[in-house]
Structure 1
Amino acid sequence: SGGSGNDYYSVDSASDTVTELAGEGIDTVSASTTSYTLGSNVENLYFYSYGSSSYTTGYGNELDNVISGNYSSDNSLYGNAGNDTLYGGSGNDYLDGGTGNDALYGYAGNDYLNGGTGNDAMSGGSGN
């Protein structure tokens, strides 16, 4: 678990748990897994892998999340509640903002963008 201030966590398993208290900065998880769900009080999720084209699935929480998929793979990203920003990549991505005023960026590939409820901004990028 982190403390006051902005914390950065690196996880390598979907079962890894990050524990944060409310109001302790902007916290970020960097995941080398194919799936991860943000715990309470954690704002940001970034997927990465080195040379892998694995399919990634990421879930936000009730906060204003920034979720970035693995750039070279297909991603399914779900903001859930809050005013979220979701970034796909060069693959075929599914981005779902959920509730709130969200921003969705599909980039290259054949993407499906669903803003959900709220006033959302969406950019599919190149592809269908």
Structure 2
Amino acid sequence: MITDIIVPRDYLIILQTARIRPSPYHVKMVKHDEFLKMNGSHFLSIRPGKKVGDPTVHYLRALQFRSDGKVNYKLSFLENSAWEALPQRFQVPNRPIAWIRMFPHALPIKERKFQDLQSMKHVMPVECHQFFDNLPHN
């Protein structure tokens, strides 16, 4: 089934309905203010194990960076697999991990692109026009 994609929400609907069994995908729309970056702190290693025979980075399937500075990992793609704390061997001295917003505001598109999108509104459903009218642009 081919579906027209006009606004970002259309991606959300397509991804949510892409699978029925074992259960539909859980999809979260992320906005610009939800992207965070570290304040300059870093880890020397993201290896989940410490000794020979323990898992290496090749076995990592997911990393979870928490707002409290802790990092968790999974070695399986299964949703019910448990998150485990990543051993933190090194952090920049006197600099605890802090998260800051990567984008303080939505990134504007160029005026030319904005005008091109406006010129295409006659082929789009009227319900979508407001989305394109409110795009930040230079």
**Band of TM-score, shorter chain:** under 0.3
Structure with more of its chain in strand, by fraction: 1
Whichever structure has more helix as a proportion of its residues is 2
State which structure, 1 or 2, has the greater radius of gyration over its C-alpha atoms.
2
TM-score (norm 2): 0.20
